[in-house]
Amino acid sequence: MTPQELERFRALLIQWREDLISTSEVRDESSGTVHLDQQSVGRLSRMDAMQSQELAKAGKARAERQLLMIKAALARIDRDEFGDCIECGEAINPKRLEIDPTTLHCIHCAQ
């Protein structure tokens, strides 16, 4: 992979990381404890609020996993290992990396 391609992927990963971090405050607020007055709010509203809370928690967990994968991909760029399949060592197709720059496997090993 050329140095220009590596820098393009580095910039893409950094932008993705920044986007995830910038939306983390909203996710954190949404995944907090649901406080509803049971006297003034109906059962369905409470269930809806709890369901929204669970969706927010799942989104937060997914974002944390993505941040870890981005950190690992940036480390692979620094070690000059980015774009190589961790199973067979062959180069991962750049089009596959454009879809998900954190991918670890070539298409054959991913199957």
pLDDT in tens, the chain (111 residues): 889 999 999 999 999 999 998 887 766 665 555 555 555 556 667 777 778 778 888 888 899 999 999 999 999 999 999 999 999 999 999 999 999 999 999 999 998
Q: What does residue 82 show for φ and ψ, rounded to 5 degrees?
A: -65, 135
Please give the Cα distance from 33 to 81 (Å, whole number).
Answer: 42
Q: Is residue 45 part of a domain?
A: yes
Q: What is the pTM of this model?
A: 0.76
Burial of 4 (0-12, 13-18, 19+ CB in 10 A): exposed
Is there a domain that residue 101 lies in? Answer: no
- Give pLDDT, residue 9: 96
Residue 89: predicted pLDDT: 93
Domain assignment present for residue 75? The answer is yes
The tally of domains found in the chain comes to: 1
**Which residue range is the domain that position 75 belongs to?**
3-81
Burial class (CB in 10 A: 0-12, 13-18, 19+), 76: buried
Quick check: is 96 in a domain?
no
Answer yes or no: is 59 within a domain: yes
For residue 55, how many C-alpha atoms fall within 13 Å in the half-sphere facing its CB?
Answer: 7
pLDDT of residue 32: 56
